[in-house]
Structure 1
Amino acid sequence: MSTPTAPHALTALEQAAAVRAGDLAPEELVRHHLARAEAFDESFGAFVTRTPEAALSAAAALRERSDAERASPLSGVPTAVKDLTDTAGVATTYGSKAFVAHVPTADAHSVSRLRAAGTISIGKTNTPEFGCCCYTDNDVKGPARNPWDPALSAGGSSGGSAVAVALGLVPVAHASDGGGSIRIPASACGLFGIKPSRGRVSSGPAGAEVTGLAVQGPLARSVRDAAALLDALAGPEPGDPHWAPPLPEGETFLGHADRSPGRLRIGRYASPAAEGVTVDPECVAAWEHASALLESLGHDVEDIPTPFGPEIGDHFVSAWGVQSLGYAVEPDREALLRPVTRAWREYGRTVSGERFAAAVTGMQRASRRAVRATAAYDVVLTPTLATVPRPVEYFDESGDPLVNLHRQSAFSAFTSPYNMTGQPAVNVPLYWTAGDVPIGVQLVGRPADEATLIALSAQLEEALPWRDRYARLLSASAPAALAG
């Protein structure tokens, strides 16, 4: 194939095809993306650490692999790994000054799978400290800024990965999601993101499993790219506490992106379970827009009651506070933590064993009720966020941490319940405001049914392609070119 456009404007699958055809060498592709990261990273905060030498070495080594080893749909494609996930020999800070010198000696299983698929990481992407927040800012790198408007937050906690993909610093990126951390930045940055089913992607060997809330998955500009990256990531490892049933023999998630979803029954709601959260009219407009598009494609869209009660908020907060203690910080380094991180950890220490057990049990009971309540529907549609993207300063941590935490609550009001149920969920970028800011919608699948979500999302992308939306971002050669 020929490459008439800049390499970074190609999809991940197009880049891999160009490598297979000999139109692009892996080293050329890596150098191109490294140069683009060099140009944009300081202004937008995508990376905590960039690894040019390791990336170029991996690209050169790819030539020595057999044809069978290079047959992966993403072989030779640059990517990046969220800085919460261990990467051998590369500083992994978890977004914290307390871990700036931390260099793991072993890869997380997900990183090993990405290597095996022939993808080439060019660095570790920006994340809030320990992934505790739904925006991305820390004392190691600073904030991740929204590519559509750098005055706005990119969302979190996978904000760095979202920025990198939206700006074409990499075509696809690794991310993780414990309360909305893939879907939130996907919505804010106009991307397609998949929160897989619990157990679909191994979080071992060192991943925190105390609550089962967090999973790892892909961020991409296209459904097919995200499906291909999920294929690379998916699969259990011995010892994993959660396993999602595999696809039938011979099937792939990428294959489902090329299949019709059929006529689906879709339930929708736009009132979050969290009390006191008002949904922004732009978010409702995006939800109504998606509903009309789904109906025009022949699907049955029905209003349903919110399947969760307000009590889930207390359960989630208790579990999240305890989970924030999963990072062992030496007592003399606790002062290096940011105020909101300290607030979460201080709260977590007040949660008794009895209360934590009650929170986990409460989440499980609420999850079972919600799954039963929506069992008649193939997919559930909600807004992804209850608010439009906020200015970076909106999440300032210099004041009362409780003010900050309340401000975050609207961002995860629709997303965090599905971390409790473990169902797969995606953000689909179908709607932009008059000011050219993306507003996503969330599609939730039946347990372990990413395949239907991918097929439906691909149908939506074909009906209302969003690729051209990125022209302004991907044609810019420097941050100044995005002004206005």
Structure 2
Amino acid sequence: PPPRLRIAYSTASPLGTEVDAEAAAAVQAAARRLAALCHHVEEAAPPVDGHAVAACYLKLYAAQVPAVMDQARSLGARDSEFEPLTRVMAAYGRRLDAAALTQSLARWNEFARTLGAFFGAWDVWLTPTTARAALPHGTLDPPPAEARLTDTLLASGLLAPLARWGALDARVQRLFVQNLAPYPFTQLANLAGVPAMSLPLHWTPEGLPLGVQAVGRQGDEATLLQLAAELEADAPWFDRLAPIAHEAG
């Protein structure tokens, strides 16, 4: 069992985007359960700019897309086999230079230091894993008008020059934040290099699972695993499955 832990929790999206009431309820219920297990639990969050985290995450992601696409092409993939949004992201990524990536890496170090200071006062930080339950397929697809515009740019050959001129920057950043809105809580641990896990503690009235993310200090996976074992013993989840799983069986 873990020792008595200092556990912070928060439910607000670091992007200022909407968080479903069920996702917030999942964290609040976990906080109450942990308090009942004699841990010290309070509402708190590290003072990190979520939009800055998203911007840095975008640059890392976008810089990798053209490299991965080039590798796929070398193995025989055709441009038409890539989704239009992937090709837009690749055009944006090719515009980024080494200086932009280096600046992002420096910001990641700032995020890690801020998170490290936060974990000087806390052992674990709880958030929703996702801001809402599973989304229907196609929810994050671009609107038809935007999809048509993308197809036109791809067909005309204007995508690459527009990207080089910076004309796509605002559009790509808006799309990226839009696509991160259901998942705004998980990027920080990735960039800061700290352990995190999703605990299957909550189910919506429709029977869909909603995870609670537990983030720990650097190198302290053991505390997270101890906490998970304690919670699983207190509220077993092994046999909890969404209705669709039973239907498939």
TM-score normalised by L of structure 1: 0.42
CA drift of 1:397 comes to 5.3
What's the offset of the Cα at 1:374? 2.6
- The question of 1:322 aligning with 2:63 is answered yes
> In structure 2, do the counterparts of structure 1 residues 302 and 354 end up closer, same or farther at CA, with 3 Å as the change threshold?
same
| Residue of structure 1 in register with 2:117 after alignment | 372
Alignment check: 8 A CA contact 1:267 1:374 kept: no
1:391 paired to 2:131 = no
Tell me the percent identity: 31
* 1:30-429 matched pairs, under 5 angstroms: 260-275=1-16, 277-309=17-49, 310-327=51-68, 328-330=71-73, 333-396=78-141, 399=144, 400=146, 405-429=176-200
- Residue of 436, 443, 452 corresponding to 2:214: 443
Offset of 1:472 from its aligned partner?
Answer: 5.7
Q: Give the letter for the 1:330 counterpart.
A: R
Q: In structure 2, the residue corresponding to 1:311 is in which secondary structure?
A: helix
More helix by share: 2
Q: For residue 160 of structure 2, what is the aligned residue in structure 1?
A: none
- 1:117-152 Cα offsets, whole Å, 9 max, x none, are xxxxxxxxxxxxxxxxxxxxxxxxxxxxxxxxxxxx
Deviation per residue, 1:231-282 (Å, 9 max, x gap): xxxxxxxxxxxxxxxxxxxxxxxxxxxxx1121111112223224x111111
Match for residue 465 of structure 1 among 226, 233, 236: 236
Q: Distance in 2 between matches of 1:295 and 1:271?
A: 20
Structure 1 residue 373 displacement after superposition:
2.3
What are the Cα deviations for residues 276-323 of structure 1, in whole angstroms up to 9, with x where unaligned?
x11111100101011001111111011213431132221111111102
Q: Distance in 2 between matches of 1:307 and 1:424?
A: 19
Aligned residues of 1:286 and 1:431 also touching (Cα < 8 A): yes
Contact 1:273 1:306 survives alignment (8 Å): no
Distance 1:367 1:325 in 2: 27
Distance verdict in 2 for CA 1:443–1:301, change over 3 Å = same
1:425, 1:274 → 2: CA distance?
19
- Is the Cα contact below 8 Å between 2:46 and 2:114 reproduced in 1? no
Match of 2:127, SS?
strand
Output the aligned Cα RMSD. Answer: 2.3
Task: Give the deviation of 1:418 after TM superposition.
Answer: 0.6
Q: Secondary structure at the match of 2:139?
A: helix
Cα deviation per residue 1:138-194 (whole Å; 9 max; x = unaligned)? Answer: xxxxxxxxxxxxxxxxxxxxxxxxxxxxxxxxxxxxxxxxxxxxxxxxxxxxxxxxx
- Say if 1:406 and 1:364 are closer, same or farther in 2 by CA, change over 3 A: same
Residue 3 of structure 2 aligns with an amino acid whose one-letter code is G
Shift of 1:473: 6.3
* Unmatched 5+ stretches in structure 1: 1-259
Judge conservation of contact 2:207–2:242 (CA < 8 Å) in 1. no
Query: Can you give the 5+ residue segments of structure 2 that lack an aligned partner in the other structure?
Result: 148-171
Helix, strand or coil at the partner of 2:198: strand
CA shift digits 1:20-75 (9 cap, x unpaired)? xxxxxxxxxxxxxxxxxxxxxxxxxxxxxxxxxxxxxxxxxxxxxxxxxxxxxxxx
Contact residue 128 and residue 213 of structure 2 kept, 8 A: yes
Give the Cα–Cα distance (whole angstroms) in 2 for the partners of residues 417 and 449 of structure 1.
16
Count of residues paired in the alignment: 218
Consecutive aligned runs of 4 or more in structure 1 exceeding 4 Å deviation: 401-404, 471-474
Alpha-carbon separation, structure 1, partners of 2:109 and 2:183: 18
Which structure is higher in RCO with an 8 Å CA cutoff and minimum separation 6?
A: 2
What amino acid maps onto 1:385 in structure 2? Answer: T
Partners of 1:334 and 1:355 lie apart in 2 by 27
CA-CA distance at 1:398 after TM superposition: 7.2
Shift of the alpha carbon at 1:385? Answer: 1.0
Q: 1:410 Cα deviation (Å)?
A: 1.6
* SS of equivalent residue, structure 1 residue 420: helix
Question: Deviation of residue 380 (structure 1)?
Answer: 0.8
